[in-house]
Amino acid sequence: MFEVPAASAGLFAERLSTALTSGPWYCDLHDADETIVVFAGQIFRYARGDQHGRESAEAHARTVGVPEVQIDWPE
C-alpha cells in the first residue's frame, strides 16, 4: 500500500495503465469522494457510492480474469 497525492492521482493512473501488462490485476485508488480502478489500458473513475460506475469497473475486471473474490476494492 502507498499514497499518491490527490492532485497527482489522474496522472498516476494514466501512467500506471500504460505500464501494466494485460492480465487479471488492477490497482485501486480512492479518497473520501472518488474511486479510481486502473487496469492495463483502461481506467474507471467514479464517485464513491456510484453503483453504475462500480459495476462497470467490476464487469471489466471479470473480462480480464480477475477472480471474483478479488473484485473487492473499498467503497
Domain residue limits at 38: 6-70
Q: What's the Cα-to-Cα distance from 47 to each of 29, 64, 69, rounded to whole Å?
A: 12, 23, 22
CA dihedral (69, 47, 7, 15) in degrees, to 10, reads: 50
Whose cell is 473499498? That residue is 74
- Does residue 47 lie within any of the structural domains? yes
Q: How many distinct structural domains can be found in the chain?
A: 1
pLDDT in tens, the chain (75 residues): 888 898 999 999 999 999 999 999 999 999 999 999 999 999 999 999 999 999 999 999 999 999 999 999 988
- Does residue 75 lie within any of the structural domains? no
- Does residue 13 lie within any of the structural domains? yes
